[in-house]
Amino acid sequence: MARAVFGLWCCWFMVMVLANGLPEVGVNWGNIASHPLPPKTVVQLLKDNGIRKVKLFDSDPKSLMALEGSGMEVMVAIPNLELQNMADSSINADDWVSEYLLDFVDKVKIRYVAVGNEPFLKSYNGSFVKHTFPALRNIQKALEKAGLGKKIKATVPLNADVYESNSSKPSDGQFRPDVKNLMTQIVKFLRDNDSPFVVNIYPFLSLYDNDNFPIEFAFFEKNGHPVDDKGYQYTNVLDANYDTLLWSLKKIGVDDIKIIIGEIGWPTDGHKHATTKNAHKFYDGLFKRLNDNKGTPLRSSAKFDVYLFGLLDEDQKSIAPGFFERHWGIFRFDGQPKFALDITGKGQNKMPLAAKGVEYLEHQWCVFDTSMVEDTRSWMVQKQTEIACQYGDCTTLTPGGSCNSLSNSSHVSYAFNMFYQINNQKASACDFEGLGMIVKKNASQGQCLFPIMIDSGARERLSFGFGGIIAVILMVLFVFM
Ligand SMILES: *[C@@H]1O[C@H](CO)[C@@H](O)[C@H](O)[C@H]1NC(C)=O
Ligand SMILES: *[C@@H]1O[C@H](CO)[C@@H](O)[C@H](O)[C@H]1NC(C)=O
Ligand SMILES: *[C@@H]1O[C@H](CO)[C@@H](O)[C@H](O)[C@H]1NC(C)=O
Ligand SMILES: *[C@@H]1O[C@H](CO)[C@@H](O)[C@H](O)[C@H]1NC(C)=O
């Protein structure tokens, strides 16, 4: 009895704290990494930093097991490649729900199932267009059949490229013509099921795609020229993009759907705009904006519900979108924080707490032995570096990257070290036809960190996503620039 009373009081107290303060900030937890942190370590990292919502890109039982009893609100996902399967038959969807969700629903607070991830992205050339809506319907039905329909909602995280404005004004927003009819059906389905519309918004990409993009718009600085739209003033990309979506929805007759920002963030390496300094500035502006308790010009009641992208750097992501793609984490791959932040938006920035109990490999590095060949232009050096960068991650060596300014021979060392580390410091992975040399002295130079991999049970996944090969060749070219 006493416990029940205490429990009630405690929850009421928490509700008050929440209502008054912290915005709903979650994070995206991706795992496309050669050496992912153990799931338990990740969940502790989230808890230690007061993060209470997490979005996954799959429904890996290992992640879900680590989330058991954590009280964390979870969005699980069905990858794009599974969409056809889910669309083909409702039995497949039923099976998915019983195989991946039923064991966990009592212990993990699963709120949403993301059906696909940005399936209508322009660069997918329509590959997933046909299967997405049927998959969504089948999953929602399967949830209902399992008695979970009220508790867990199916939705489809979409890239903001599903809508566009032919001017800079939100009021010109509309869904992309090639998916407009489909979007209309999906949106109405979501609304009828009380499911949210999930959209990923990337101010960084606006700047990346267009050097003339007004930079103050990306960083929530109010010193630029606001965009005037029907008497509303826009001073940042988040508000403008959100209202472009609202206008697009309005034009298909939907005014009242809940919106979740499924991904928003800033990368820290691999491009001149992708720096720790810019990421810091972006998150500062974002958290202030999220906490100023204002809606957007068009929906003054809008309460932002966002998931940051992302939690950790992922060294096996496809670099087809750009070299920055492996550097979206607010933490490095090993759970070390990159910069200070304050989720409450009060500007009291402090370093987030690092992951605890992370086990590293030996303190040793592989570097280029310049006593063998001095000239990095030699064919052998170039060839070995190319091999190293095919598997190791050389994205920080590219223009604008944190290691780009090193000397040519240090570029080679960096590449060798990445290959060596990704191969769990196997001695044979520092051979390079005799050009490699293992050293005990920290090989990092200035801003350029030569990492040591974590010991994650020697999980090796040396593969790259589509578009990877061409991008790797490009990356290798940059190594010598
Ligand atoms: C989409 O089409 C472009 C141009 O035809 C092609 O280069 C690209 O590889 C295609 N992407 C996919 C995912 O099919
Ligand atoms: C944008 O499209 C709308 C209608 O679709 C049209 O009325 C308007 O003139 C267009 N604006 C520009 C700048 O092309
Ligand atoms: C190596 O040096 C860098 C930069 O000084 C530092 O950040 C890193 O922690 C060091 N690594 C090890 C394993 O000591
Ligand atoms: C470094 O590499 C570039 C490109 O291959 C070359 O032009 C330059 O001369 C090299 N610098 C040195 C010091 O070898």
| Residue 287 CA, ligand 3 centroid: distance in Å | 30
CA-proximal residue: ligand 2, atom 14 (nearest): 166
> Is 118 a domain residue?
no
> Is 266 a domain residue?
yes
Q: Are 393 and 315 in contact (CB under 8 A)?
A: yes
Q: How far apart are CA 328 and CA 202, in angstroms?
A: 11
What's the number of domains the chain is made of? 2
- Which domain-ending residue is among 300, 326, 352? 326
Question: What's the pLDDT tens digit per position in 78-112?
Answer: 999 999 999 999 999 999 999 999 999 999 999 99
Query: What integer pLDDT is reported at residue 293 of this predicted model?
Result: 85
The answer to whether residues 389 and 272 belong to one domain is no
Query: What integer pLDDT is reported at residue 168 of this predicted model?
Result: 85
Question: What's the pLDDT tens digit per position in 346-355?
Answer: 888 899 999 9
Whether ligand 1 lies within 6 angstroms of the CB of 124 is answered as yes
> Is 375 a domain residue?
yes
Is the link from the previous residue into 147 a cis peptide, with omega within 30 of 0? no
Containing structural domain, residue 244: 14-56+156-326
Above pLDDT 90, what percent of the chain? 81
Catalytic residues: 118, 263
Query: What integer pLDDT is reported at residue 469 of this predicted model?
Result: 52
Query: What integer pLDDT is reported at residue 457 of this predicted model?
Result: 66
Q: Please tell me the pTM assigned to this model.
A: 0.90
What are the DSSP calls for 384-446, one per residue?
HHHHHHHHS--GGGSTTSTTTTS-HHHHHHHHHHHHHHHTTT-GGGG-TTTTEEEESS---BT
Question: Which of 164, 165, 166 for a ligand 2 pocket mutation test, highest count of atoms within 8 Å of Cβ?
Answer: 166
Query: What integer pLDDT is reported at residue 238 of this predicted model?
Result: 95
In the block, residue with structure tokens 């009895």: 1
- Which domain-ending residue is among 326, 356, 385? 326
Q: Specify the range with the lowest mean pLDDT, choosing from 37-46, 248-257, 281-290, 342-351.
A: 342-351
The answer to whether residues 50 and 198 belong to one domain is yes
> Is 475 a domain residue?
yes
Strands 153-155 and 109-115: parallel
Q: Specify the range with the lowest mean pLDDT, choosing from 310-324, 339-353, 392-406.
A: 339-353
Whose atoms come closest to the Cα of 168: which ligand? 2
The answer to whether residues 305 and 378 belong to one domain is no
Question: What's the pLDDT tens digit per position in 224-254?
Answer: 789 999 999 999 999 999 999 999 999 999 9
The arithmetic mean of pLDDT across residues 130-143, rounded, is 98
Question: What's the pLDDT tens digit per position in 395-429?
Answer: 999 999 999 999 999 999 999 999 999 999 999 99
Mean pLDDT of the chain: 91
